[in-house]
Amino acid sequence: MQRTLARTVHMTGIGVHKGEKATIRILPAPCDYGIRFLRTDVIGLDQVVEARYDAVVDTALCTRIGNSDGVSVSTIEHLMAAFAGCGIENALVELDGPEIPIMDGSAAPFVEALTEAGIVEQDAKLRVLRVLSSVSVEHEGRFAALHPSDAFEIEFKIDFEDEAIGVQHRDARFTGDCFIQDYANSRTFGRLEEIEKLRSLGFARGGSLDNAVVVNGSEVLNEGGLRHQDEFVRHKMLDAVGDLALAGAPVVGRYCGVKSGHDMTNRLLHKLFSTPGAWRFDEVTDRSAVSSDYADRAPYIEAVVA
């Protein structure tokens, strides 16, 4: 069945790019409402932006969605990942500015707030997006694909020159509490020189060691180091969970990404929905109907991508 919140959530933090205080309220919503954002600071224009893959207007530094009046909401990916990881399909997010607060750079603060508020089942069948045939996209050495599977799975590979990151590869089946336990607290990351350049251009004004992992060559600059040895690839998988949630329904399929990111995942969703016979919406009453016991398989990425 579909799910929403038991009560309203209030959260305040800093917008990572503008560096301004950002406050959100996450409210319960009725069946079949989906996830929507409402800009309370906007007057005279449509305040509501729906969380959909075809509403994405920018993927350069984060995922930003917008409506036909030009009203937009930035940095939605971590909150969307929290909704997906907690199994929440219906909610209204009110915010007083253009950015979702970055919190600690992961989805964990959102997950904690949502679970503390309580999650309730609704009297409506859950709609899932079932991948029926493989689709893929490639661009400038990056790759992303969706394949049929009996559950939601992600395989991801990253390759950075920085010694602190290097090559990392991970494969996971996102059933039960897998996302909450193993991925939600993985933080966004960046190179010191890139962050300094972004700030000189007027971006990343709210970025700090409190909300991102910063590397400089072989060194991780954050006090306390990493939360996971492979936190970098885990965060990329977290981002993919959030960006795939813009499909409008839980995905039953296997996502494979190589050096992928917000742009590639959005390109992939456009490719999927524009490919006849590659997908189908199914309605289910039991969430266990979209997953089953794990079946061992050879990693797709290592078999296909050199």
Catalytic center residues: 262
Residue 253: CB atoms within 10 A of its CB come to 28
Residues 6+ apart with CB under 8 A from 298: none
Residues 6+ apart with CB under 8 A from 71: 39, 42, 45, 46, 47, 49
Q: How would you list the strands of the sheet with 135-139, edge to edge?
A: 135-139, 142-147, 254-258, 153-159, 167-173
- Rounded to whole angstroms, the Cα distance separating 100 from 103 reads 9
Query: Torsion angle, CA of 185/188/192/194, rounded to 10 degrees?
Result: 180
Owner of token pair 């590869």 = 169
Q: What is the DSSP string of 202-258?
A: T--TT--TTSSEEEETTEE-STT--SSTTHHHHHHHHHHHHHHGGGSS-EESEEEEE
- Give yes or no for a contact between 40 and 47, defined as CB atoms under 8 angstroms apart: yes
**φ, ψ of residue 139 in degrees (nearest 5):** -160, 120
- Rounded to whole angstroms, the Cα distance separating 247 from 50 reads 11
- Rounded to whole angstroms, the Cα distance separating 209 from 199 reads 14
For 117, the enclosing helix (H) or strand (E) is helix 108-117
Residue 283: CB atoms within 10 A of its CB come to 11
- Give yes or no for a contact between 146 and 153, defined as CB atoms under 8 angstroms apart: no
